[in-house]
């Protein structure tokens, strides 16, 4: 599984944590892997798999642990995001954008294997795929401020 695929699964799992009590994070993460595959037909008639959870057990455990760690850091991540997101506090942000920002900031601050530029580029790509039309610019702007705020 590629890092991009892992990141996308991690984003989906992190996104879902906002809908359940924090103490259910691990169980909800495990249930993520029992969800059915989903596909979509694009405008040009091509069938694209948009959700597939056939993932090796070691990758599942990695994702579950990573999401649990991110959830435990949400207060600190949100505080840092709030410090630079002028006029936009995390409580007012869309859940998609907030999950993307949390994951990218986590990678920037806590994952030594991911360069900041990669974390930002991947976050913008997730915003293009899952967010609204203004999401990529918003995500890029907030993350750029976080880089300069260090």
- pLDDT tens, the chain, 150 aa long: 789 989 999 999 999 988 888 888 888 877 888 776 677 777 788 777 666 777 888 998 999 999 999 999 999 999 999 999 888 899 999 999 999 999 999 999 999 999 999 999 999 999 999 999 999 999 999 999 999 876
**Distance, CA of 70 to CA of 67 (rounded, Å):** 5
Q: In the prediction, which pLDDT does 145 show?
A: 94
Residue with tokens 């990218």, as numbered in its chain: 104
**Distance, CA of 6 to CA of 104 (rounded, Å):** 13
Q: pTM for the full model? A: 0.87
Q: In the prediction, which pLDDT does 50 show?
A: 62
Q: In the prediction, which pLDDT does 69 show?
A: 95
Query: What is the crossing angle of helices 3-17 and 95-110, to 10°?
Result: 120
Residue with tokens 């806590």, as numbered in its chain: 110
Q: In the prediction, which pLDDT does 65 show?
A: 93
Of 31, 33, 10, 9, the residue nearest 20 (C-alpha): 31
């Amino acid at each position: 599984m590629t890092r991009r695929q892992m990141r996308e699964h991690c984003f989906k799992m992190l996104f879902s944590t906002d809908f359940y009590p924090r103490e259910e994070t691990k169980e909800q993460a495990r249930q993520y892997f029992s969800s059915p595959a989903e596909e979509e037909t694009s405008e040009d008639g091509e069938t694209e798999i948009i959700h597939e959870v056939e993932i090796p057990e070691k990758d599942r455990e990695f994702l579950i642990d990573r999401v649990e760690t991110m959830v435990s850091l949400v207060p600190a991540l949100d505080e840092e995001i709030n410090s630079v997101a002028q006029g936009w506090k995390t409580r007012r942000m869309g859940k998609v954008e907030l999950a993307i920002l949390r994951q990218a900031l986590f990678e920037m601050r806590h994952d030594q294997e991911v360069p900041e530029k990669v974390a930002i580029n991947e976050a913008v790509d997730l915003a293009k795929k899952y967010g609204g039309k203004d999401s990529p610019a918003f995500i890029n702007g907030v993350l750029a401020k976080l880089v300069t705020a260090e």
